[in-house]
Amino acid sequence: MRANLVGALAGLIVLTGLGAAAVLPRLAGPAPAATGAVTIGGPFALVDGHGKTVTDKDFRGRYMLIYFGYTHCPDACPATLNDISLALDKLTPAERARVAPLFITVDPERDTPAMIGDYVAAFSKDLVGLTGDQAAINAAEAEYHVYAERHLLKHGDYAMDHSSIMYVMGPDGGFVGIINDGTKPVEIAQRLKAFGV
């Protein structure tokens, strides 16, 4: 009996030691009280589809719904952006005005401001596409603990392997929670309302 208890406690310690990255995709509710755990989110300075520099502070007072991806993505990115667009349509005009949906590229080499601007416009007039130089993108990815890695394809082309999570940040810029990709638009809208939108 004692051996089983010791084994269970040891397993709990190991699981705890794996850190937030291992469990992040399963988080679905509001952020727990600060406990010294990994902080999600932070400052960024990127470029929008009009070539204008945009920072996280430009969205204070609104809930940021942030998704990292890239315009050449064949599946997850267009599906998720479509779901976000449909979810926005399920909000009242007042609720929708309190949401800033952001698409941050993980592929700045190909995703120029004009390209990312045109790409997000195909999904929703409210979506803001953001890019920047590699250092700025790396910094944003680090703040949100985003996984992104180039994957070489045949004929010299490449794709980007990347995490696929929607981050919800509060009006003060602080982390509120996440919404997993694949969540239905009606559920995304409901989650945003539950978060306080």
Q: Check pLDDT > 80 for residue 37.
A: no
pLDDT digits (tens, 9 = 90+) for 151-173: 899 888 999 999 999 999 999 99
- For the segment 21-36, the average pLDDT, to the nearest whole number, is 44
What average pLDDT does the structure give for the chain? 86
Q: Give the per-residue pLDDT at 12.
A: 36
Q: What is the pTM of this model?
A: 0.81
- Residue 172 has a pLDDT of 97
Q: What is the pLDDT of residues 85-109, one digit of tens each?
A: 999 999 999 999 999 999 999 999 9
pLDDT in tens, 56-91: 999 999 999 999 999 999 999 999 999 999 999 999
Chain position carrying tokens 């990994």: 38
Residues whose CB is less than 8 angstroms from the CB of residue 63 and which lie 6 or more positions away in sequence, other chains included: 98, 99, 100, 168, 169, 170, 171, 176, 192, 195, 196, 197
Whether residue 55 is predicted with pLDDT greater than 70 in this model: the reply is yes
What average pLDDT does range 147-151 have in this prediction?
93
pLDDT at 20 over 50: no
Q: Calculate ∠ Cα 77-71-117, nearest 5°.
A: 110
Give the pLDDT band of residue 7 (cuts 50, 70, 90).
Answer: very low
Give the span between the Cα atoms of 45 and 14, in whole angstroms.
36
Q: How far apart are CA 47 and CA 129, in angstroms?
A: 8
pLDDT, one tens digit per residue, over 108-147 is 999 999 999 999 999 999 999 999 999 999 999 999 999 9
Spatial distance between the Cα atoms of 164 and 84, rounded to a whole number of angstroms: 13
The tally of CA atoms less than 13 A away on the side-chain side of residue 183 is: 22
Residue 162 tokens, joined: 């990347």
Domains and CATH numbers, the chain: 28-195 (3.40.30.10)
Q: 36 falls in which pLDDT band (50, 70, 90)?
A: low
Report percent pLDDT > 90 for the chain.
Answer: 78
Q: How many other CB atoms are there within 10 angstroms of residue 97's CB atom?
A: 12
Residue 6: predicted pLDDT: 38
